[in-house]
Amino acid sequence: MFSKIIQGLTKVADVFSVLMMILLAVTLFIGVLTRYVFSFSIPELEVVRNFCLIWMVFIGSALAVKEKLHLDIDIFSDYLSERLNSWRIRIVYLLTFFGIGILIFIGVAAFESGLNRMELVPIRFLSEQPSLVYYYSSFLVGSVLMLLFHLLNIRDLLGRNEVGKK
């Protein structure tokens, strides 16, 4: 049951990232076309581009953590014994865990800040400017997904070490 939820979250994150990339490409194309061909600029496209970019960064970072593509310095791993290499991996996982914890802490603060700040670019079809929570929530959502995927990786690492000891 839990693995199906994780697979579903991963699928949603993958699809969302692809949609954001497509939307970013389309808005960039429309922006260039309207600006240089029709000499007309659409300011709302900047809002959409920023939205796509920031959400792609944080959801993509979470997917990178899931696939273990995050930062790992392995310059010495070829020269270390298996035992020392195992400790090196544990230290990297622990440091990554603390880094993600800091991101979550900052993500909560950013989310609260986004509730009180308003969009600066005028959006013509809205009666009042929206809060920036739709930007800043990406920080928190991406960080929480990073934590979830990292905890799963730690569980897999510890499970693998327990199997190796038996």
User: Is the model's pLDDT at 166 over the cut of 80?
Assistant: no
How far apart are the C-alpha atoms of 68 and 89, rounded to whole Å? 12
Whether pTM exceeds 0.85: no
How far apart are the C-alpha atoms of 54 and 140, rounded to whole Å? 12
Which residue is associated with the tokens 């005028």?
A: 122
Span 2-29, mean pLDDT?
A: 93
**H helices then E strands: how many in the chain?**
4, 0
Q: What is the pLDDT of residues 44-98, one digit of tens each?
A: 888 889 899 999 999 999 999 998 887 666 777 778 888 888 888 888 888 889 9
Let me know: does 117 contact 134? Beta carbons within 8 Å: no
